[in-house]
Amino acid sequence: MIDIVFALGGMVLLWCGLGWAFDVRGITTRRSERIHRKNQETWAMGHLGGSPNLFASVGYLRFLGAVMAGAGLILLIAAYALWRLS
Per-domain residue ranges of the chain = 2-85
**pTM of model > 0.75:** no
Q: What angle do CA 21, 26, 27 make, to 5 degrees?
A: 105
18, 65 in Cβ contact below 8 A?
yes
Write out the chain's pLDDT in tens, 86 residues. Answer: 888 898 999 999 999 888 888 876 666 667 777 777 777 666 655 555 555 566 666 778 788 889 999 999 999 999 999 999 98
